[in-house]
Amino acid sequence: MRRQIAIIGAGPAGMFLAHLLHAEGIEATVIERRDRPYVEGRVRAGVLEQGTVGLLRRLGLAGRLEREGLVHGGTNVSIDGRVFRIDMAALTGGATVTVYGQQEVMRDLFDAAELRGLDIRWNASDVALTGLDGDRPVVTWREGDAARRLTCDFVVGCDGYHGVSRAAIPASVLRTFERVYPFGWLGVLADVPPADHELVYANHERGFALASMRSPTRSRYYIQCGLNEDIGDWSDDRFWDELCLRLGSETAAKVTRGKSFEKSIAPLRSFVVEPMRWGRLFLAGDAAHIVPPTGAKGMNLAVSDVTMLGEALSEHYREGSDAGIDGYSARALARVWKAERFSWWFTSVTHRFPTMDGFDRRIQIAELDYLRGSPAAQRSLAENYVGLPLEAA
């Protein structure tokens, strides 16, 4: 097989890129290790920045999102139960975020991919990349018993944190930056109405909690937990009790309890590799960086990476200019690091760290109290939360 672009991974990064390239008439094949139900079924992100929503519209993929997405002009912060609202729309000249689950985004991307005839190879095992530092990279994989081989101009590694693409770059070239947090998030999905029509981020003496949602009838709640906790120790009753305690009485009074149908623990980490290009391989999304979920940036960053890469590849094929692809890594990393900073900061001021003493705790409370009273501090949070612009290269 011969294609202009090989995309490894059919997560958000891979599928947004596939649609962007299709719209530009650039031939691409997406090679995915799993099957569609698996990728579509993963419960992950849920808050879309305005840029992500804008891209879905531009690609003609926003029909269901316009009907079912929940537009949020603000968000709430709770300090030991005292809640205040940040009016993000007012502070940013009207910018908002939209609550629409990653599962829904993936379903829309896959449905449209079928209609548009995008080439996706599911259940691809033993994916291997060669010739990345030459002129004609080759991707090989297996589909059942059949061996496949694809020659292309460029490979884009959209295969997440555990993929093969980043590992194909020589260790001597890559620089890795990492923070592993000493806690995780215990998340629960339940078909009950959310406690509030917007999110509530809670800092409590006992640890962080987040009241979130997927729809007017489906709630997504999280509490900070230890990394070695056993999910089996968390009955629904224990979860609801702890959640309500940390959210405080004002929010807890609005929590509807119910049977959870998904419960899992996710570790938190910050991780970036530089550069995001080596030879004819580009990295995008979780393959190159991870953020703790506090700032709701993971999927949005994957989308901004491939938006920039889509522009760069279009420039390459349409105008014969390599300025975009040569500048991709620096341009993407500049935005990635700002999202890393925001996610790290928001995590730092809302979570309980095992090493915290009384001084640290009071500094945290003072920081959030300052946020409560300062329009300047609120504006800083708001402009990061709704998503920073994609600056020029």
Among 71, 89, 266, 393, binds ligand FAD (CB under 6 A): 266
Between residue 55 and residue 114, which ones bind ligand FAD under the rule CB under 6 A? 102
Under the binding rule (CB under 6 A), the answer on residue 207 touching ligand FAD is no
User: If we measure between CA atoms, which residue out of 232, 220, 280, 303 comes closest to residue 43?
Assistant: 220
Min dist CB 291 to ligand FAD, Å, is 7
Min dist CB 8 to ligand FAD, Å, is 5
Among 45, 186, 213, 252, binds ligand FAD (CB under 6 A): 45
Q: Which stretch binds ligand FAD (CB under 6 A): 8-16, 147-155, 227-235, 362-370?
A: 8-16
100, 181, 201, 221: the active-site residue: 201
- Could you tell me how far CA 44 lies from the centroid of its own chain? 8
| 352 φ, ψ (degrees, to nearest 5) | -95, 120
- Which C-beta is closer to ligand FAD: that of 109 or that of 363? 109
Min dist CB 14 to ligand FAD, Å, is 6
Min dist CB 102 to ligand FAD, Å, is 6
Under the binding rule (CB under 6 A), the answer on residue 51 touching ligand FAD is no
Under the binding rule (CB under 6 A), the answer on residue 276 touching ligand FAD is no
Q: Build a one-symbol-per-residue string for 221-260: x at contacts with ligand FAD by CB under 6 A, - elsewhere.
A: ----------------------------------------
293, 316, 328, 351: the active-site residue: 293
Q: Decide if 385 is catalytic.
A: yes
- Which C-beta is closer to ligand FAD: that of 240 or that of 342? 342
Q: Decide if 293 is catalytic.
A: yes
Under the binding rule (CB under 6 A), the answer on residue 17 touching ligand FAD is no
Among 113, 127, 139, 308, binds ligand FAD (CB under 6 A): 127
Q: What is the 3-state secondary structure (H, E, C) of the chain?
A: CECCEEEECCCHHHHHHHHHHHHCCCCEEEECCCCHHHHHHCCCCCEECHHHHHHHHHCCCCHHHHHHCEEECCEEEEECCEEEEECHHHHCCCCCEEECCHHHHHHHHHHHHHHHCCEEECCEEEEEEECCCCCCCEEEEEECCEEEEEECCEEEECCCCCCCCHHHCCCCCCEEEEEEEEEEEEEEEECCCCCCCCCEEEEECCEEEEEEEEECCEEEEEEEECCCCCHHHCCHHHHHHHHHHHHCHHHHCCCCCCCEEEEEEEEEEEEEEECCEECCEEECHHHCEECCHHHCCHHHHHHHHHHHHHHHHHHHHHHCCCHHHHHHHHHHHHHHHHHHHHHHHHHHHHCCCCCCCHHHHHHHHHHHHHHHHCHHHHHHHHHHHHCCCCCCC
289, 297, 316, 351: the active-site residue: 297
Among 5, 32, 260, 347, binds ligand FAD (CB under 6 A): 32
Under the binding rule (CB under 6 A), the answer on residue 158 touching ligand FAD is yes
Among 24, 27, 36, 44, binds ligand FAD (CB under 6 A): 44
Q: Build a one-symbol-per-residue string for 337-366: x at contacts with ligand FAD by CB under 6 A, - elsewhere.
A: ------------------------------
**Binding stretches for ligand FAD (CB under 6 A):** 8-14, 31-34, 39, 44-46, 102, 124, 127, 158-160, 162-164, 266, 285-286, 293, 296-299, 302
Catalytic residue numbers, as ranges: 72, 201, 293, 297, 385
